[in-house]
Amino acid sequence: MKILAINPGSTSTKIAVYEDETPRLVLNIRHSVEELSEFSRIIDQFEFRKQLVLQALQENGIPFEFDAIVGRGGLLKPIPGGVYEVNDAMLDDIAHAMRSHACNLGCLIASELAELLPGCRAFIADPGVVDELDEIARITGSPLMPRITIWHALNQRAIARRYAAEQGTRYEDLDLIICHLGGGISVGTHRHGRAVDVNNALDGEGPFSPERAGTLPAGQLIDLCNSGRFTRDELKKRISGRAGLTAHLGTTDIPAIIKRIEEGDEHARLVLDAMIYQIAKHVGAAAVVLYGKVDAILLTGGIAHSEYIISRLRERISFLAPVHVYPGEDELEALALNVLSALRGELPIQVYQ
């Protein structure tokens, strides 16, 4: 099986070519601020990014011959996890998506490229809107605002399956807490193969992160919204994009922040330790969901490379369950292997409606 995986991000488009489980090409196509500034909306970048994918394949001598093309899932309506074949309903919902993110381009590019090849199929897998919450977890103090989930479903699930394989068991037989530590931070409670509780890591819940504000004091937020100081779009950026570490410290660069701490910057120490503190609090809350019966806590994402952060997290959470660290993320591999399993009949191919 030849599979092309496409993962559009804010400033890059990552692609990988797999033959069965073997990667033949893994490439990160970076986009400059100047290139992207030509487009007023993210959706307008579609043709630009699609052509770059085709160009990259040609330059690397990869024949345009695939059994399947899989794109990173976009911000669709809430759906259960799994592999979905791209259909008209999905494309229509992406065209009218209420939230804008580069990941929305994934299924669009996959669909259009697959149409160029006879017999080729287009898929997405475990998009960020996967919703398997227990009903009790949806309730908030206001019926106007039920909880929603936007999280790193693809990487969390891939890491969960990897850990399960290492332990000689199945993801569906484990109770796990998984933290994806990146520009946004999601803390997922996985009970026997379902993410029964997880925060909205995009725009308004959970620990603050390098780019996100996380949970904020509601009264103060309402006052700020009505202060006249900011427009609606500016306020949105104050909770997602220009928030968290970048709002406090002017950067999302963890090694640079740690260097400042080593040079005596006590404010930087306080802010970074506060982020670690909040992550640990949410891990503790996740343990309550599982009645304290946690098989393991898995830490993943780019920030998991930081010994400063991981060592301090361990100090706070290791009493709950064994802690295992999987630095970085390999969403391209997760996309390709999900689809490979679906094509082999090992995973069901679900229908988006």
Q: Give the start-to-end residue ranges of the domains of the chain.
A: 2-131+331-351, 153-327
Mean pLDDT across the chain, nearest whole number?
A: 95
**Which of the four pLDDT bands, split at 50, 70 and 90, describes residue 224?**
very high
Give me the pLDDT at residue 329, please.
Answer: 84
**Which of the four pLDDT bands, split at 50, 70 and 90, describes residue 99?**
confident
Give me the pLDDT at residue 325, please.
Answer: 98
Q: Which fold has domain 2-131+331-351?
A: Nucleotidyltransferase; domain 5 (3.30.420)
Please check whether the two domains, 2-131+331-351 and 153-327, share a CATH topology: yes
221: part of which helix (H) or strand (E)?
helix 218-225
pLDDT tens for each residue of 185-220: 999 999 999 999 999 998 889 999 999 999 999 999
pLDDT tens for each residue of 273-283: 999 999 999 99
The 2-8 sheet, strands edge to edge: 22-30, 12-19, 2-8, 68-72, 121-125, 83-85, 349-351
The pTM score is 0.90
Give me the pLDDT at residue 36, please.
Answer: 87
**Which of the four pLDDT bands, split at 50, 70 and 90, describes residue 49?**
very high
pLDDT tens for each residue of 110-149: 999 999 999 999 999 999 999 999 999 999 999 999 999 9
**Residue 111 token pair:** 């669909």
**In the chain, where does DSSP find H-type helix?**
33-36, 46-59, 88-95, 105-114, 135-138, 153-166, 218-225, 232-239, 245-249, 254-262, 266-289, 307-317, 331-343
* CATH, domain 153-327, list 3.40.50.300, 3.30.420.40, 3.50.50.60, 1.10.760.10: 3.30.420.40
